[in-house]
Amino acid sequence: MHDQSVAKNIRILWLLKGLSSAWFPIPILMIFYQSYGLSLAQGVMLKAILSGAFFLGEIPSGYFADRIGRKTSLVCGSLLWLLAWLIYCTQGSWSWFVGAEILTGIGGSLMSGADSAITYDTLLQLGRTAEYQGWEGKGLAIMGLTEAACGLVGAWVATQNLVYPFYLQTACLCCYVVLALMLREPTAHCSQVNPPWRSLTGSIRTIFTQRPSLRWLILFSATLSCGSFLIVWLSQEYMVQRGLELTHLGWAWVIFHSAMAIASSLVGRIRPRDYRWIFALLPCVVAIAYIGLGVTKSLWGMGFIIAIYMMRGLNTPLVLNYLNQQIPSNFRATLISINSFLFRLLFLGFAPLVSLVSRGSGFETSLIFAGLLLGIVATYAYYKLRPTL
């Protein structure tokens, strides 16, 4: 009977994937900031602050999810998200936006790792872990299509008022909280003993010592995630500079996320023996795409943005599947949070650096710089990871 109630998690978690990606404001977010007098550099800095909040909360929140429960973590995180978007709905200054980004970061860190952990343990209890890679791919496809559709709607309603997309986002988060309360904690997690906080560092160090490939996998994933996250913000400036109208940004969002959804929906067909060549391809894609954007002066450069989104569609589910296979349930959310922790740390240092290059040498030069640095780090991580694939 308990297995039947836990099986409902799968459908609920797919709905939560969609609601967590109902990003109505994202296509116009930088334009929204500029409407309140903020510069592009300040907009990117807000995202660096977001990453800083994620950075500080990732590992403690992962431990919280493993110790207290993944459901509780998801509910608390979504409530903080809801508060952050209410601030965006009602306020309009730099200091309020900083506060909203901090709340978003803390809330997101509570949700990061908890959703993947409860999914894998649900499938583990049901004896269906072989389905996880395909599930994660379909989940990312749902996220991509949801973000595409919501981006289109958000860009459209923003032509009436730039704050309207934030109202829609807030409504979706209310639905998220209600659905998260309906989840059931799998016994695969409940039955295991979690280490006390003081011994957590030693336990993590032991796991990384026993499985050194995890260190390079996490660096590889974090570097590519940094590239796919940065392009979300830089692509808006790129398209506007090349003459794309505000009303067309939503359609561009649809194209980008549909491409990501197509790539991620195919992940279930990828066999473990294919990991080596696919992982070798991904750093090349991100490096060539960023450099291509830097040297392309027309909207045809959007093809490189599409390539980065397709890279994201492959990277996330493949890495999460490989990672979940290597770690015990009572550390699952914590170690997935470490993956996100390193990504946020990289972005926290990388985003201001890209902004500095942009101010000193121009926007196009900053894109080329980003491509070179991301490509070098991801390729090195792959080189160290390759023997274990």
374 pLDDT band, cuts 50/70/90, is very high
214 pLDDT band, cuts 50/70/90, is confident
Amino acid at 279: F
Q: Which of 150, 184, 186, 130 is nearest to 321 (CA)?
A: 130
Please count the CA atoms within 13 angstroms of the CA of 120 that sit on its side-chain side: 24
Average pLDDT over residues 66-94: 91
The CA angle 70-71-73, to the nearest 5 degrees, is 65
pTM as predicted: 0.75
pLDDT in tens, 183-212: 998 875 454 555 555 555 666 677 677 778
pLDDT of residue 191: 47
78 pLDDT band, cuts 50/70/90, is very high
pLDDT of residue 82: 95
> Any idea which of 14-28, 139-153, 189-203 has the lowest mean pLDDT?
189-203
> Any idea which of 57-61, 146-150, 301-305, 329-333 has the lowest mean pLDDT?
329-333
25-47 burial: b if 16+ Cβ within 10 Å, else e: bbbbbbbbbbeeebebebbbbbb
Whether the CB-CB separation of 379 and 283 falls below 8 Å is answered with yes
Q: What does the alpha-carbon distance between residue 346 and residue 78 come to, in Å, rounded to a whole number?
A: 24
Q: What does the alpha-carbon distance between residue 255 and residue 319 come to, in Å, rounded to a whole number?
A: 24
Domain residue limits, the chain = 2-189+207-388
Average pLDDT over residues 277-300: 93
Whether the CB-CB separation of 374 and 287 falls below 8 Å is answered with yes
47 pLDDT band, cuts 50/70/90, is confident
Under 8 Å CB-to-CB from 271, ≥6 apart: which residues? none
1 pLDDT band, cuts 50/70/90, is very low
SS (HEC) of the chain:
CHHHHHHHHHHHHHHHHHHHCCCCCHHHHHHHHHHCCCCHHHHHHHHHHHHHHHHHHHHHHHHHHHHHCHHHHHHHHHHHHHHHHHHHHHCCCHHHHHHHHHHHHHHHHHHCCHHHHHHHHHHHHCCCHHHHHHHHHHHHHHHHHHHHHHHHHHHHHHCCCCCHHHHHHHHHHHHHHHHHCCCCCCHHHHCCCCCCHHHHHHHHHHHHHHCCHHHHHHHHHHHHHHHHHHHHHHHHHHHHHCCCCHHHHHHHHHHHHHHHHHHHHCHHHCCHHHHHHHHHHHHHHHHHHHHHHHHCCCHHHHHHHHHHHHHHHHHHHHHHHHHHHHCCHHHHHHHHHHHHHHHHHHHHHHHHHHHHHHHHHCHHHHHHHHHHHHHHHHHHHHHHHHHHC
Q: What does the alpha-carbon distance between residue 254 and residue 204 come to, in Å, rounded to a whole number?
A: 40
Report how far apart, in Å, the C-alpha atoms of 121 and of each of 72, 137, 192, 264, 364 are: 15, 17, 12, 21, 45
CB atoms < 10 A from the CB of 185, how many? Answer: 16
2-189+207-388 has CATH 3.40.50.1000 classification: no
Average pLDDT over residues 338-367: 84
Average pLDDT, the chain: 85
Q: Which of 18, 25, 20, 19 is nearest to 165 (CA)?
A: 25
